[in-house]
Structures are given as structure tokens and as C-alpha cells.
Homo-oligomer: A and B are copies of this chain.
Amino acid sequence: MSAFPFEIHATDGKARTGVLKTPRGDIRTPAFMPVGTAATVKALYPEQVRQAGADIILGNTYHLMLRPGAERVKRLGGLHEFMNWDGPILTDSGGFQVWSLAGLRKLTEEGVEFQSHIDGSKHQLTPERAIEIQADLLGADISMQLDECTNFPCTKDEARASMEMSLRWGARCKAAFGERDTQALFGIVQGAVYENLRKESAQRLVETGFDGYAVGGLAVGEGLETMCEVLDYTVPELPADRPHYLMGVGKPIDLVEAVARGIDMFDCVMPTRSGRHGQAWSDFGPVNLKRAEFAEDTSPLDASIDCPASRDYSKAYIHHLVRAGEYLAAMLLSWHNIAYYEQLMARMRATIAAGTFDQFVTDFRARWAEGEARRG
């Protein structure tokens, strides 16, 4: 019944590695999707994103519907053509961004009305419109259902009401999407940090039937331990033969812990946002290149990563660029960070395939803890 074949090549504990096959190319899982909010992965050229190892990127319904406008993107040949990215694109539904608007939105059963953060103009997003924008106008390979995100923390009653709304919106998205051969639709599990709500949300989504299943409403301040608990009881409820996508996560350690719990796909603005703020990611955590200690450090960011930004420039030079506020600082650090994230996924795919993922996780946790201890 699914649009995209999902081949699982190996498992190691709950961790899986495989390939999600799409008409625009294979997505090797576990996969990290760089975020191209406004039709660009910030400070990177599309070919750098591809060369860094990304098989798929994410686009944002909310941003693109406001600027340049979904109908305009359609007239310009769709999002792939518009932004020079011929690989698969997953679009979020806009639910999370609209939720972030707080006072500027009004929620009803029909959908959500909101004001543009750009010019204050009024817009509406319904499940049907979210599908039209993503699948028909932007031409996303993978569309996400419209969902309601819940505040953290929230009461169980609030979480249930919100989850029920998301389930009804999910069913409307499914109906609007219909059956398609070359595009997929993912549902989103909600339920905050309440085990029975998460399980019920997952089960009822599966009854509706989606091409993949996302876990939403995490990475909103609950912390790594709570996130892991939610994944521990949620992921087993999802069909094993469909991709599992953890939305908006996260730090490298979060990715490792989530893969160990059966997650196949991720997206996060962290590598590019950090890159614009002078930070380079590593197995030991973030490194702030602005620090004086790097002023005469001639070593590269990470010679083991096959990326010019990681390998060919000294920390001293990048330190200088950060201090001087130069474009090239953000360009090099964002590029390195995407390459690091993609290399981390490749290492997880390889160790799962080799049956040594447990050891990888143990070693990674140790490096991460060492980094945290060092930073104090």
C-alpha cells in the first residue's frame, strides 16, 4: 500500500539500517535531513549538501507559503526546480511553526489562522490546504500531516485534547492526499510525555494508515532522558516495516540514542544554526571557535571528515573569521556541521550493518560525557 519501498538491510537491537526508495533517489537510513527552511540550507550550496552525504532535505510549508508563496513555487516548476535540489524533499506541514507563533494564531477544528511574521498578513492552514501546499504546489516527495503541537509541560487533559485534534487532522490529511504512486504522506504521533496517549496516538494513526510515522512534540524542552523514555514506549507501537521519523531532533547524542531506539530519520536546524554562531559539532559536543584558545591553533576542525571545511582550513583561520563576522565563518562551520552530522549517520549505518552498533553507542556516550565534563 505504500508509495515508497523501505528495505531494512540490517538490525542491531532496536536499531535498523536500510534504504527508503523514492523516485528521486534512495534515502539511506538512519538519515539526517538538513533543514532548508526558506528553500535553502542556510549558507550552503545545494551541491555541498549532497556531497556532505545528505540524501534528502527538509523544506518548511510555513515559510514557503508566506514567501515566495506556494502557488508561485508551483508556477516556477516546484520546489526542487526552484532551489536546484534534485533529490528527495520532505516538507513539514507548518504545524510546528504556527504553534511557535503563540499570540499570532487562532486554532479551530477547521484549522489554524495566523499572521505572517513577515508582513502581518492573515493566512489559514487547514489539513486540506497543508496537503495542497506540500504535495501539489511545492511537490514534496514526503508530506507531513498537519498536527497540533502541545506546550511543554502540559496536563494530560490538554495533551489528550491536542492529540485527538491531531488524529482528526491526520485523517483529513490522508483523505486529501488520497493514493499516490510517487509521493508519500507521514502521520505524526503526539501525546506529550504520557505513555498511554503516545501509544493510543500511534495505534490510531496506524489504523488510518500512513507511508511513514513521525514522533512529534519532542525536543521542546523535555530533556534527553524524557525523550528516550517516550521513544522507548512509542516506537514499538509503530509498524516495523515503515520509516520512523523523530522530528526536530537534535544534538549528536540525541541522534545516537534515538537510533538505538529504532528511529530512522531526523531533521534539525542545529548544525546550520550553530554554524552561524561560531560552533563546530564533534563527538565531544559543540566547540566554540570564538574562544581565544583557537587563535593560533593550526589544526583543522576534523581531518577525518572528507569535507573541505572540516579538513582544509585551520581553526585559527576560522576563529579569525568568526571574530571578524565574515560570511565565510558561517559558510565553513555550517558545511562542516552538516558533513559531521551526515558522517555520524554513516557511522551508525555501518556499525548497525556490522553488528557493532552497541559498542559504537557505548564509545560515543563516553566521548560525549568526556566533552561535557571538559566544558564543565
Contact = CB atoms under 8 A, between A and B. Distances in A.
A42 interface: yes
A316 interface: yes
From A40, A326, A330, residue with most partner B Cβ within 10 Å: A40
A330 B328 contact: no
B38 A84 contact: no
Contacts of A317: 39, 76, 82-84
A295 interface: yes
Contact of A312 (B67, B84, B276): B84
Contact of A327 (B39, B324, B331): B331
A45 interface: yes
Contacts of A25: none
A321 interface: yes
Given A82-B314, A298-B77, A42 B327 contact: yes
Interface residues of A, number: 37
Interface string A81-109: 01110000000000000000000000000
B324 A38 contact: yes
A39 B320 contact: yes
A72 interface: yes
A40 B326 contact: yes
Contacts of A368: none
A76 B312 CA distance: 14
A8 B39 CA distance: 48
Contacts of A43: 327-328, 331
A316 to B, nearest CB: 5
Interface string A301-341: 00000001000111011011101101110110000000000
A84 B67 CA distance: 37
A68 B320 contact: yes
A76 B316 contact: yes
Contact of A295 (B68, B276, B295, B296): B68
Given A38-B326, A67-B320, A295-B68, A84 B313 contact: yes
A75 interface: yes
A271 to B, nearest CB: 14
Contacts of A296: 72, 75-76
A317 B82 CA distance: 6
A67 to B, nearest CB: 6
A150 B38 CA distance: 46
Nearest to A38: B324
Interface in A12-42: 38-40, 42
B76 A298 contact: yes
A201 B298 CA distance: 44
Interface of A: 38-40, 42-45, 47, 67-68, 72, 75-77, 82-84, 276, 295-296, 298, 308, 312-314, 316-317, 319-321, 323-324, 326-328, 330-331
13 contacts: A38-B320, A38-B321, A38-B326, A40-B324, A42-B326, A42-B327, A67-B324, A76-B316, A82-B316, A82-B320, A84-B313, A84-B317, A276-B327
